[in-house]
Chains A and B, each alone.
Chain A
Amino acid sequence: MSTVITQDEINAVFPTVSATMADALGCDVEDIKPNVSLIEGLDAESIDFLDMVFRLERAFKIKIPRGKIVENARGTLTEAEFEQKGIVTDVGMAQLKSYLSEVPADRFKTPMKVADIPRLFTPETFCKLVVQAQRDAKAAA
């Protein structure tokens, strides 16, 4: 199986993801655009991320490791390779841009604090999480 998550896979889960997010954030589903920033565009906070992950797990009957989205973004890099003193390294930034390919390039600020990475997250980021979790569940079955 390809490791690249396709647009078709994202499109397949997006309707449920967007409805789930709208419910969690108390907004209209029409506000959930694939590439809107959840924090800056939809006023999501850390509790909302937890809420959304919880709801998505139930909606899709999957397991998403909570609080580990940034770890997933780090990929195969070690923590020291990915960040130094809370700032994403150059190689870390390249990995981050690759993982969050749906995020427009101008939203990656330099230097970027690790704590600010969630500001990049979009509904499409969560679609990819869901697809990956579905793949993991399938592989484990």
Chain B
Amino acid sequence: MSGHFSAFSFVDRITAFEPGVRARGAFAIPAPIAHFPACLVAEAVGQLAAWTAMAHIEFRGRPVAALASETRFSRDVKPGQVLDLSVEIDDCDDAAVAYHGEASVAGVRVIELRDCLGPMLPVADFDEPVAMAARLALLRAEGAPPGRFHGVPTLRVVRTSTAEPGVAEGTLQVPAQAAFFADHFPRRPVFPATLLLDAQLTLAQAMLAESGHGSAGALLAPTRMMRVKVRSFTAPGTALQLRAALRPDNSQGETLMVDLTASADDKPVATARAEFSARVQA
């Protein structure tokens, strides 16, 4: 199956594994790709947690969509680097998995996920359970061949005008076809929430730059994402309305808070709050 376990899979190898308890693994960011956004690092941590959770309930269910109380972005990552992933499962049953975890590069933490929660839905609705179990066995043994991931297409937000200061709005047209849909997921293509969050952060970053925030022309970067709540699936071809709004109660000082919302047909799809400040570049 073209793209399955490659076009949107971010665990190459699992080096330590206790189903429903904890896991460690790695993902080598292919050197040839142009960019690997921080949200995909979060995706890698979440995918390791998903393997741990699915194994615990014998592949009856898989976590989809998500709640994430807090994600801390410490450093950017670059193609060619290797992500060391670790997760601790706080709770796991057929209804949901709760976990926390982190990713590091050469021993330096680059991202941390706290208090994440994923509702479990039947694996068979999204993928092939037997193939999933076989894939886990491969990841726990010799690992998947590196370099499978070839990047994701650039997703542009077409800005719409708004008279509100500190607010940016736009439309994100989810492609009807993309390689990642073959992997996410083979039986039910769903636009990855982490790509949506990346687009939301990009919109917020542009809004802050246009509003004159940041010192001496330096671009502010997202340092934390809080209260991420993905409410519904986004199908291929969906037009998403994005909004980034600077919070009025936090618009002073070096740290800025921005409320992020995404909706489709006036129904909320995802909400989050992002913190922007100067961040260390790798």
Contacts and interface: CB of A to CB of B under 8 A. Distances in A.
B29 interface: no
Contacts of A26: 227, 271
B98 interface: yes
A50 B117 CA distance: 8
B230 A66 contact: no
A48 B231 CA distance: 8
Contacts of B147: none
A67 B65 contact: no
Interface of B: 65, 67, 93, 95-96, 98, 115, 117, 119, 227, 229-231, 271
A26 B270 CA distance: 13
B96 A45 contact: no
Nearest to B259: A26
Contact of B65 (A47, A48, A58): A47
B98 A54 contact: yes
Interface string A88-105: 000000000000000000
A58 B98 CA distance: 11
Given A47-B229, A47-B230, A54 B95 contact: no
A116 B65 CA distance: 23
Given A66-B96, A67-B95, A51 B117 contact: yes
- Interface secondary structure of B, over-half rule: strand
B117 A54 contact: yes
B98 A47 contact: no
B89 to A, nearest CB: 14
A46 B67 CA distance: 12
A47 B227 contact: no
A45 B231 contact: yes
Contacts of B230: 47
Contact of B93 (A47, A48, A54, A66): A66
Given A66-B93, A66-B95, A66-B96, A50 B67 contact: yes
Interface in A4-63: 26, 45-48, 50-51, 54, 58
Nearest to B67: A51
